Amino acid sequence: MSRWAVTPARADYVTIPIAAAITGYSAKAIRRKIEAGVWLEGREFRRAPDGHVLISVKGYELWVERGRA
């Protein structure tokens, strides 16, 4: 057994499946928030150069703290 513990670095942006695991919202719920305009591009999410949607961990946290759906 290794004596060293590995702690993953916190990512600023994560894919929708990772965001679902972090937040407890399903991937479908996250996509719906984006489609409905509840989560805004440049605030709660961004698009990568290849078109993938990446969720801002900080943007999500600020959304929770604002307390509005």
Q: What is the residue range of 24's domain?
A: 13-66
Q: Is residue 3 part of a domain?
A: no
Tell me if residue 60 falls in helix, strand or coil.
helix
Q: Is residue 1 part of a domain?
A: no
> For 50-65, what is the mean pLDDT?
97
pLDDT beyond 70 at 65: yes
Cα separation, 26 vs 42, in Å, equals 21
Task: Specify the pLDDT at position 6.
Answer: 65
Q: Is residue 43 part of a domain?
A: yes
1-56 residue pLDDT tens: 567 776 667 899 999 999 999 999 999 999 999 999 999 999 999 999 999 999 99
Task: Specify the pLDDT at position 69.
Answer: 62
Task: Specify the pLDDT at position 4.
Answer: 75
Cα separation, 3 vs 10, in Å, equals 22
Q: How many CB atoms lie within 10 A of CB 18?
A: 15
Q: Is residue 30 part of a domain?
A: yes
Q: Is residue 40 part of a domain?
A: yes
Tell me if residue 48 falls in helix, strand or coil.
coil
- The count of domains in the chain is 1
